[in-house]
Amino acid sequence: MRISLLFILLFLYNFIGAQNGPLANQSGTRLTPTELSIPASPVFDMMGVTPSQVSRTSDIKDFKVDWSFKSWSLSPNISLESQPIWEIKYNRRDIKNYQKASPLMRKLASANLSAGTVLDENGDRRIGMALKINLYKEKDPLLERGYYEDIEKNITKERKALEEELKISRKELDTIKNMLLKPEIRQTIQSLEMELLSLNSKRTQLINERAVILNGEFWNSGWLDLGLGSIKSYITETNGDLNRLRLNRSTAKGLWINAGKGIGKTLLLSGLARVHLYDEEVQFALEDENFEPLDTNAIASNSLYTLGVNLRYGNPYFSFFAEVIYEKRSLKTPLDAVKEVFITPDNFQIIANSVDWTVVHPYRFNFGGDWRMSKNVLLNYSMQTIFDENARLKTFLPVVAIACLMR
C-alpha cells in the first residue's frame, strides 16, 4: 500500500515537472543545463544498497534525495546529497562565473556530499557520509558556451523591443486626448504585457529543445570519479534505539574510483575499484589438553577489495545493464584473522569449526535498468545474484531505488 502511494506521489511530481526539459531549469531567468544523468547517492554506493553497484558519474548540481528498498515494506532507507561549493560559489543567474573558473575550481564544484541511513536485513541501523568528486569529464554541459547564446541574444533583443513599445503605448495612453481611442491603447498594452510574461516560457521551451539534443548526443560521455566515505552500523533495540557498533564490513571506511566510457551512441562501459577498511569481530573457542572449552573473541583489522565491470545499453531516458562484481578480503579465513591478533595460550589450541565471522561471497551478477521518468525523477531497478566461491547461487534479490532532484 505504501509503495503504491509512493509511486502515485512520484507520478504527480513527474507531471508537475513535465513542462520543464531534461537539462534546463527555469527560476526567473536562470539558465542551468546541469546534468546529463542522475547518479546514485555516493553514500548508498558505498553501502552497496543501489541496484547497480557500478555507479554512473556524479554530475548533478542540485539537492537530491534517494530511496532504496528491497521488499514490499518500505524501509526508511534515505540519502540526502548536495554540492556545497557549487551552491555557495557558482549557483548564480549567470553561468559565466563557472565557465571562467580554473579547472581545479570546476572539479571542486563537482564535489558531491551525501549522508544517508538504511535499516539492513539484520535490523541494524547503518549511518554514513560520503564525498564524491569528478576528476575528469569528457563533456560538461555547462561549458557549452555557444549552445544557448543565440537564444539568450534573441530573447533579450525581443524583450527590449517589447519594453520600448510598451513604454511608448503607456505614454500615449497618458497624453492622448481622444477618449474613444483609449480602450484600443489599453488592449495594446495588455497584449504587450502578456508577450513579456510569456518570454520566459518561450525561452525555456527553446532551451529544452536544445538540451534534448545535447543530452541525446552525450548521455554516455566518459568520466573518472573519486569517492571516499565512512559508515557505522549499530545493533538496535526493538524500539529503534542504537545499542552498540556492529564490527564487520558494515562499519567501515571506504575509498573508490569509478570510471566510464561511451561506445557509440547506445553503449556505456564502466568500472569500479573500491576498498573497505574495517574491524572484524571474530568469535571462536579454545580447547586445552583436557578438552576443556574456553569461549573468547578477537578483533582483527581487515580490508575488502571490490572490482566491478558494467555494460549499459540505452539512451538518456532509459537503459538496461548487466554487471559482474568480484570481492576479496585481505584476511581470507576466520582462522587467518584469529592468528593475526591472538596468541594462543600454552596448552590451548583453536577449535577450527567454532570460528565465526561475517561471510563474504566473492561473485555477484546483477542485471536491471533505469527509467528517467522526468528531468527530476529516476527509477532504478535490478535483480541481484550472489554466488559463493564454488559458483553456487546463494542469493537472488530484487532491489529498487528512486532518485529525486529537489527542484
Domain boundaries, the chain: 2-141+221-405, 149-210
Nearest C-alpha neighbor of 115 from the set 230, 285, 253: 230
- Per residue in 43-55, pLDDT (tens digit) is 999 998 899 999 8
Give residue 23's Cα distance to chain centre.
16
- pLDDT for 24 equals 40
pTM of this structure: 0.77
CA distances (Å), origin 47, targets 41, 233, 402: 10, 10, 16
Instruction: Identify the three-state secondary structure at position 303.
Output: strand
Kindly state the percentage of the chain with pLDDT values over 70. Answer: 86
Q: Quickly name the fold that domain 2-141+221-405 has.
A: Porin (2.40.160)
For residue 52, the cross-strand partners are none
How many residues does this entry show for the chain? 407
Nearest C-alpha neighbor of 258 from the set 148, 110, 78: 110
Decide if 35 contacts 139 (C-beta within 8 A): no
283 backbone dihedrals φ, ψ, rounded to 5°: -105, 135
Nearest C-alpha neighbor of 299 from the set 254, 340, 328, 359: 340
Question: Cα Rg for the chain, rounded, in angstroms?
Answer: 28
CB atoms within 10 A of CB 347: 11
- pLDDT for 36 equals 65
- pLDDT for 9 equals 44
**Which of the given ranges, 154-158, 210-214, 254-258, has the highest pLDDT on average?**
254-258
Who has greater pLDDT, 60 or 255?
A: 255
Q: Does the pLDDT value for residue 200 go beyond 50? A: yes
**DSSP letter, residue 86:** I
